[in-house]
């Protein structure tokens, strides 16, 4: 109940920040990462053993992204530069998301919960789509190397997670992970919107990013009570 109250408070702070104070809006989005990480840890602890490392790694990735977002908010509020350390923290978070997001379907197929060969098709489509969409993005606006990495990972993860949603429609493990995967789809899509709309003063992209990202964290948290304990570890 406390976590849900905090989630509601963060949405309220974000709405107030949208009207008057961008610092408050940034802070709300930053703190929502930690609620999402809590939800992923909670689900990981109650999920079958085959998916616990991946879910725990995704939670750790969210913690790094949350710290990076807090440093960005601090930079905006005070003018003190945090970019150098922030980029390192973001890269660690993105790397964890990339590795653990890929590990999840790999483990599922390895234990027979996905059809044989599904992971290879999944990864191939995600990699090719990520590369193609990243290349197309550079035609819309120039990207630095860091931005290109973020864009490629965001496109890859979006395609990777979207392809899994039909397979997770039923079954005990499917019920555990369906909400998690949809949240990850929203979060990855949010990063895509942010990259595509990053040309100043693209306020619309920032607002859409905020909404999608906080919705993703909300889906993670609201799914906590619907995650039953597994019958077998």
The Cα-based distances of 209 to 29, 174, 194, 196, 214 in angstroms read 10, 27, 6, 11, 8
Longest dimension (CA), the chain: 53
Query: Is residue 228 included in any domain, yes or no?
Result: no
Query: Is residue 62 included in any domain, yes or no?
Result: yes
Query: Is residue 169 included in any domain, yes or no?
Result: yes
Query: Is residue 56 included in any domain, yes or no?
Result: yes
Q: Give counts: helices (H), strands (E), the chain.
A: 8, 0
Q: pLDDT value at position 233?
A: 46
CB hemisphere CA count around 95 (13 angstroms) = 7
Q: Which residues contact 76 (CB under 8 A, 6 or more apart)?
A: 22, 23, 26
> 164: part of which helix (H) or strand (E)?
none
Residue 192: Cβ within 10 Å count = 21
Query: Is residue 233 included in any domain, yes or no?
Result: no
Query: Is residue 214 included in any domain, yes or no?
Result: yes
Write the pLDDT tens digit of every residue in 8-47.
Answer: 999 999 999 888 777 888 899 999 999 999 999 988 888 8
Residue 81: Cβ within 10 Å count = 10
Q: Which residues of 156-187 are buried (b: 16+ CB within 10 A; e: fewer)?
A: bbbbbbbbbeebbeeeebbebbbbbbbbbbbb
Q: What is the mean pLDDT of each run of 10 residues along the chain (233 residues)?
A: 89 89 87 94 85 92 94 88 91 94 89 86 94 87 84 89 74 67 84 69 76 91 65 47
Residue-range definition of the domain harbouring residue 79: 2-222
Q: Token match 């005990």: residue?
A: 172
Query: Is residue 79 included in any domain, yes or no?
Result: yes
Query: Is residue 230 included in any domain, yes or no?
Result: no
Counting the structural domains of the chain, the total is: 1
| pTM of the shown model | 0.87
Q: pLDDT value at position 172?
A: 56
Q: pLDDT value at position 176?
A: 62
Instruction: List the end-to-end C-alpha distance of the chain, in Å, as a whole number.
Output: 27
């Amino acid at each position: 109940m406390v976590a849900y109250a905090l989630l509601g408070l963060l949405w309220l702070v974000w709405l107030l920040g949208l009207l008057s104070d961008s610092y408050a809006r940034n802070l709300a989005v930053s703190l929502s990462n930690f609620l999402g990480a809590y939800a992923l840890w909670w689900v990981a602890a109650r999920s079958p053993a085959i998916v616990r490392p991946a879910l725990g790694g995704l939670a750790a990735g969210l913690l790094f992204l949350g710290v990076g977002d807090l440093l960005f908010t601090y930079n905006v509020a005070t003018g003190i530069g945090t970019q150098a350390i922030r980029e390192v923290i973001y890269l660690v978070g993105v790397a964890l998301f990339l590795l653990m997001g890929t590990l999840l379907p790999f483990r599922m197929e390895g234990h027979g919960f996905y059809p044989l060969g599904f992971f290879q098709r999944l990864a191939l489509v995600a990699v090719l789509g990520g590369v193609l969409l990243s290349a197309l993005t550079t035609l819309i606006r120039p990207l630095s190397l860091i931005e290109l990495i973020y864009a490629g990972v965001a496109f890859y993860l979006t395609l990777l997670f979207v392809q899994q949603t039909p397979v997770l429609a039923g079954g005990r493990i499917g019920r555990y992970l369906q909400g998690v995967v949809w949240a990850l789809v929203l979060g990855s899509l949010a990063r895509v919107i942010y990259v595509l709309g990053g040309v100043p003063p693209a306020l619309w992209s920032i607002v859409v990013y905020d909404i999608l990202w906080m919705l993703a964290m909300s889906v993670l948290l609201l799914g906590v009570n619907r995650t039953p304990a597994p019958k077998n570890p």
